[in-house]
Amino acid sequence: MPNKEIDGLSIAGDLYDFMSFEVLAGTGVGAHQFWTGLARIVADYGPRLRALLQERARLQAEIDAYHRAHGSEPFDATAYEAHLRAIGYLVEAPAPFSIRTANVDEAVARIAAPQFTVPCSNPRYLTRAISARWSSLYDALYTSDVIPEDGGAERGQSYNKVRGALVIERGRDFLDEVVPLASGSHRTVTAYVVVNGALMAAIDGGERTGLKDPEQFAAYQGRGEGLSSILLRDKGLHIELKIDRRHPVGREDRAGLADIILESALTTICDFEDTVVAVDVPDKINLYRNWLATVKGSLRVQFKKNGRVTDRLFSADYRYQAPNGGPSLLFAGRSLAMVRVTGPQRLTDIIRDADGAPIPEMLLDIAVAALAGLHDTRRSKPPRNSEAGSIYIIVPKLHGPAEAACLDEIFTLVEDMLDLPKNTVKLGLTDEESRTSLNLAASIHPVADRIAWIGTSPFERARDEVDTFMEAGPIGGAAALLAAPWMKAYEAGDVETALACGLGGMAQIAKGRWTEPEHLARLVAEQAEDLRQGASTASMPSPRAASLYAMAYHRIDVSQRQKDIHTALTADTMRVRFVEQLGTPANKAPLSADEIMRELEAHCHRTLAYLVRCIDRGVGCSRVPDARGVIRMEDRSAVRLSSLCVANWLRHGVVTREQVIDALRRMAERVDAQNKAEPGYRPMAPEFDGSAFNAAAELMFIQRGAAESDIDTIIAMRRREAKAGQPPEISNRFEFLKGAMGKLETGEAFYGTND
């Protein structure tokens, strides 16, 4: 279909038709209004964004020169800070302030709870995540490793009563802990009843007792002694007791309790970025169509599971009776959806500007995401995505205050274009670049009227640190990098600065995703530390994980922790945290040859295991085994980190080019073996010349520049190649530095491809 030319923009025809017939329809915004508005934003802010990216490159060149001059000396934090201030990398912190964001949903601002991050390319995952606001604690305990399998408690293929009994005990203990009875234990309850608006429990011996805190009884379904559901409330979250004496579990339970349902993931990030692979018009339309259907509540998917066709829709809201006999109460059945768009370094050729150049993809993403959000903000009847009438857009890869200020201006122009009240579009600020972390208060300040989310990303922060300190010397292992003192200071400092800027109770403070979906016992044991640090949410890999992690939000009062942390903050403690973040990731203690090889193999395996699904199948986030066979949820952030770690070792002579190539080939054979049972899998060995393997080799030998942009360009180019089924453009993959890399650096190889 021919492109549509409007006000200097050349728009892919299929995208124009999709926007006209699906997104714009029903919003009151005309096609001319939208496209001319976008054209003005592109004309004004395309050059601004390019200038900001050039400033990134200038600053990095200054930092590289400093490290080359001082790399052999002990790290001097005072001198390094002075250098960063002299070149403009560090700016003066603003005077103390509090954010002023209004109309933020309670699920975002006030209630601490788990969160999902889901690829917006997959409607099946989207419907599952949005509908998993409520999930079964019994199922999560039974199917996870939280309960050991010894003593006859194996999970097995059929229901194990021994394991079931342990699940029920664990569930009752949880109820005693967070919604205790005035006397006795939930373990000894034989029936729950509602009497004069109060929940009563009959326990052994016929005695009746109420809740220790009667206010925790929120609502119910059923009558008298024929209750079918009891809704309890703790720290803003709800716990549902399902009563069903005909259910296989309830039939054998003294109180007829068939399940405990926890309100778990209150919010879901629908991702356009690292968990998806969107390289052409059909891919982008798929993302936009799924986001549109999500905010409209109309997303529907059919798929086969266990030989049967399953029809999945969003969960409806739940209606309960009020304890005092008043009007019935409605509780949200859906998770609130946010969207994460691409960062400012990415370009897209599905629209070209007046000079024929690709436009910043972020500008298109923000405009389309906000336009789709109109279908929700202008809806008068429930269910609505945002009861507060807001649209939540998270933007990654921002470097510091100037880029945050530019983004606020872009959001304002989009609101004007769509006739939205100012600050309707709420901003999520991802703290994943060192220039943002070290200037965090100054980065929050220009968006103080619209920020509603801030979050960390350990893998991306580590990647940026490796890139920033590339010239300082060789780094150690990735595990040591992620556990380094500066990383701990970054995680704690993000929360402390957010609280100092008034985000507590006003916005969501998030931590990165748990990446080991099969190791949930560790999740329960370790991740509670995020809550103690004051984070109000963390991203979970599954509803099962969210249900288990939700228990921590009942055990730890995050709101009180935030108040305590904020009260204890002083200028001196925040200064110490800042200096700790200046620490270098360079490793002055040499690794053994065996340690180097194991680490190199792990990086090569991670990269190949991800890329073989990303490039061959278009899967941006999936469960992949690591080099030891441990299942991990991987997205592009892990590949960025691994490729830069190898680039660092090549730069400093820790490994040779030949060692990297040999490790890639050996790990390709291992990845082939791990995937051999998957239908349609295309092995990389013995030719080692497919798109996925070639991309991995290119990433390992990447020339430095805007690292994340180069990596994304390579992946996108190879994905397009795989989709088209075309032969590789480069005859010798390990000689690509002789010309082919020049195409990657200029973008010619990527942007010269037609959709």
Residue 323 preceded by cis peptide, ω within 30: no
Q: Are 734 and 696 in contact (CB under 8 A)?
A: no
Distance of alpha carbon 104 from alpha carbon 452, whole angstroms: 7
Q: Are 63 and 468 in contact (CB under 8 A)?
A: yes
The first and second tokens of residue 190, run together, are 């034989």
Contacts of range 157-161, beta carbons closer than 8 Å, 24 or more positions apart:
159/248
The one catalytic residue among 259, 635, 710, 712: 635
Using alpha carbons, list the distances in angstroms from residue 463 to 112, 120, 307, 467, 468.
Answer: 28, 24, 43, 6, 9
Question: DSSP string spanning 300-343?
Answer: EEEEEETTEEEEEEPPPPEEEB-TTS-S-EEE--SPEEEEE---
Residue with token string 């199922």: 139
721 burial type by CB count under 10 A (0-12 exposed, 13-18 middle, 19+ buried): buried
Residue 467 known to be catalytic: no
635 noted as active-site residue: yes
Candidates 133, 340, 346, 461; catalytic one: 340
Q: Do 700 and 664 meet the contact criterion of CB atoms below 8 Å apart? A: yes
How many Å is the maximal CA-CA distance in the chain?
A: 85
Angle, alpha carbons 602-603-606 (nearest 5°): 80
User: Among all chains, which residue has been given the structure tokens 């795989």?
Assistant: 722
Contact 116, 122 (CB under 8 A): no
Whole-Å CA distances, 715 to 113, 198, 451, 579, 592 = 34, 59, 31, 36, 32
Residues 523/548, Cβ–Cβ less than 8 Å: yes
The catalytic site residues sit at 340, 635
